[in-house]
Structures are given as structure tokens and as C-alpha cells.
Amino acid sequence: QVQLQESGPGLVKPSQTLSLTCTVSGASISSGTYYWSWLRQPAGKGLEWIGRISTSGSTNYNPSLKSRVTISVDTSKNQFSLKLSSVTAADTAVYYCARSTVGANGSYYYYYMDVWGKGTTVTVSS
């Protein structure tokens, strides 16, 4: 059974870079047809998708965050990571990593996030 676990500092100072890692257990991150996503949820608010990466390194980012986000993958460690630069208090949230399974309907590909980590709280404060 695949499990995801987020890790990283719980407190980041304004203007610094937030760095989180998601460790995949129970399966190789390279096996199967998957994308690996980061999402976040400010307290009391809804879900926001940050971006995703394939095991080949192809990335897609939320346009609203694209200028500050970098997602990378380390297949040797079975991990993928998030870096968010120039953080402010507005970046305070629970951050989740998730697996996106890829399906195909003819020539049309679809995705769904079927495995999620438990989430990690990141607070931006001096």
C-alpha cells in the first residue's frame, strides 16, 4: 500500500524559501504512470493545487504561484520536493503531497489524486 509522508520545517521566516519533501513508501516512485503533486490549505479555507511533476521530470505549476515554485524529484531516494520562494504570511497553510494516477480514454488522458499524505503545517512568521 503506497503511503506518502511530508517533512520539512514547520516555521519559515518571511522572504525566505519554504522547502518540503514528500517520501513515498510501499512502491517505487518510478513505477507505473503517475504524477506527484503538492497542494496546500490555509486554515479554514479550501484546497489549492501548487503543481506536479512526473518521474521523468516534466512539471506543471499553478499559474498564480509559478514564479515562486520549483518541484523536483529524486527517484534514488523515492522522494519529490517543493521549494516556494519569497514566502509571506499568506503562504501559511497545511501542505499536502499527493499521487496523481493517470488514466486514458482513447487519446484523452485524465488524472485523479488518489493517495494523499497526512499534511504538514507550515507557518510563515518572523
Partner 1 sequence: SYELTQPPSVSVSPGQTASITCSGDELGDKYACWYQQTPGQSPVLVIYQDSKRPSGIPERFSGSNSGNTATLTISGTQAMDEGDYYCQAWDSSTAVFGGGTKLTVL
Q: How far is CA 103 from CA 24, 31, 69, 82, 112, in A?
A: 20, 15, 26, 25, 8
Q: Which of 11, 31, 33, 114 binds partner 1 (CB under 8 A)?
A: 114
Q: Which stretch binds partner 1 (CB under 8 A): 13-21, 24-32, 84-92, 113-121?
A: 113-121
Instruction: Return the C-alpha cell found at 20.
Output: 518540503
- Binding to partner 1 (CB under 8 A) within 3-42 occurs at 37, 39
Shortest distance in whole angstroms from residue 9 CB to partner 1: 20
How many residues belong to the site for partner 1 (CB under 8 A)?
23
Shortest distance in whole angstroms from residue 126 CB to partner 1: 28
Q: Sheet of 18-25: strands edge to edge?
A: 3-7, 18-25, 79-84, 69-74
Within 10 angstroms of residue 112's Cβ, the number of other Cβ atoms is 10
User: For binding to partner 1 (CB under 8 A), which residues are involved?
Assistant: 37, 39, 46-49, 52, 60, 62-64, 96, 103, 105, 110-114, 116-119
